[in-house]
Amino acid sequence: MLKYVLKTLWRHRARTLLTVSGTAVAMFVFCCVGSVQGGLERLTSGADADRSLIVFQENRFCPSSSRLPEDYARQIRDISGVVDVMPIQVWTNNCRASLDIVVFNGAAPEQIQDTRPVKLTEGDWQSFQSRTDAAIVGRNVAQRRGIRTGDQFSIGDLSVNVAGIFESTVPAEENLIYTSLDFLQYTRGLDAAGLVTQHEVLLSSDADPDRVAAAIDERLRAGPVATKTRRKGAFQASTLSDLVDLIGFAHWLGFACVALVLSIVATTSVMSVQDRIQEYAVLQTIGMRPLGAMKLVLGESTLLCLIGGTLGTGLALTALALGGFAIGAEGATIAFRPSLSLAVQGAIASLGIGVVAGLAPAIQVAKIPLVTALQRG
């Protein structure tokens, strides 16, 4: 039956090609939307998002507007449940939503190496620690900007020497550039000596994040700058609130792509049945049962959808892997990464749509009277 289905599709090459290409485009968009949603979920959930706190200046949003005393770290360390505190100075080239945002995080090199899930693929930690103006660059940023180890990279008032390229198990990390804290504090024009953008608090395994967050804000209330402490995931979700709403809307775009594929394949299947209704009738007169005719129609629609869906999904995964795409706002970024779950979703969607799209014409073929079908010729 498979050989017969393939010959049938080949006989109508133009229609088959148009259906496959339309399905591929729709599944390409479906997978890209799924990648964005997956990136947001990874950023705002998981162990790192729930077991770390971000201390930020109260009623501030863009990193350039938050200016906390670096000395707050000493007071935070004294609070029960706190394992370590990492003062971070953040600089970004754009606080608005952007597809090519560049974010610098300045922190102590030793803390970056100990607490961040990063692995150098080029360069070495010694080169990074030995120079104040050295930086290690996330793989996605390096890919987008064409940066290599040993290069000098400049943007705005910042100019750094690239000591290494890193990859990370946390996709959002690969869109960052890490420098020493002193470099960002004393760079001309930033005027941030003794100040940081935020403090990242690492908690013990038995600590209650909400209780510790409240204790930190209470302890620092008497300080020169009021703070707002939240779980890292909640902080990033709040920072990206506008993008969260947009991505929520894009979720419906994914459903629209599924409906589009269903419409394309169903239309093709109906046209195919109408053109060949007499052929199916002849097959039944020589011994094929109605169930066999249904299988032929379902086989055609499913195969069309699988070919187009596999092509679209494959192109999307390749583009996501090679492009290193990310969108960010206010210093937080969402990485678009290919994944096995995304490939599985594409395959399941293609298979399901193919079966559903072929059901109506398959039932029509099985139920139409043979005499009526033969007379249509």
Each domain of the chain, given as residue ranges in start order, spans 2-43+242-375, 60-225
Using an 8 Å Cβ cutoff, are 97 and 240 in contact? no
Can you read off the two tokens belonging to residue 33?
Answer: 């939307």
pLDDT above 60 (res 371): no
Task: Tell me 95's DSSP state.
Answer: S
Q: What is the pLDDT of residue 279?
A: 65
| Average pLDDT score over residue span 228-239 | 84
- Taking phi first (over 0 means left), then psi (-120 to 50 degrees means alpha), and beta for anything else, what does residue 81 get? left
Question: pLDDT digit string (tens) for 320-339?
Answer: 888 777 777 777 778 788 88
Question: pLDDT digit string (tens) for 192-223?
Answer: 788 999 999 999 988 999 999 999 999 999 88
- Residue carrying the six token digits 């510790």: 212
Question: pLDDT digit string (tens) for 120-145?
Answer: 999 999 999 999 899 999 998 898 88
Q: Residue ranges of the alpha helices (H) in the chain? A: 2-11, 13-44, 47-51, 72-77, 109-115, 125-130, 139-145, 181-186, 209-220, 232-239, 241-275, 277-285, 290-323, 340-367, 370-375
Question: pLDDT digit string (tens) for 270-307?
Answer: 777 777 666 666 666 766 677 777 888 888 888 888 99
pLDDT above 90 (res 376): no
Give 317's pLDDT tier (boundaries 50, 70, 90): very high
Q: What is the pLDDT of residue 120?
A: 94
Mean pLDDT of the chain: 84
Q: What is the pLDDT of residue 280?
A: 65
DSSP line for 310-366: HHHHHHHHHHHHHH--EEEETTEEEE----HHHHHHHHHHHHHHHHHHHHHHHHHHH
Give 236's pLDDT tier (boundaries 50, 70, 90): confident
* Cα-Cα-Cα-Cα dihedral sign, residues 334, 336, 341, 342: positive
Give 7's pLDDT tier (boundaries 50, 70, 90): confident
pLDDT above 70 (res 369): no
Question: pLDDT digit string (tens) for 158-170?
Answer: 899 999 999 988 8
Q: What span, in angstroms and rounded, lies between the C-alpha atoms of 235 and 120?
A: 27
Pairing of β 158-168 and β 118-123: antiparallel
Percent of the chain with pLDDT over 90: 35
Give 244's pLDDT tier (boundaries 50, 70, 90): confident
- B/e letters for 88-102, b = 16+ CB within 10 Å, e = fewer, are bbbbbebbeeeeebb
* Cα-Cα-Cα-Cα dihedral sign, residues 154, 160, 163, 168: negative
CA 219 to chain centre: 37
Q: What is the pLDDT of residue 20?
A: 86
Q: What is the pLDDT of residue 262?
A: 86
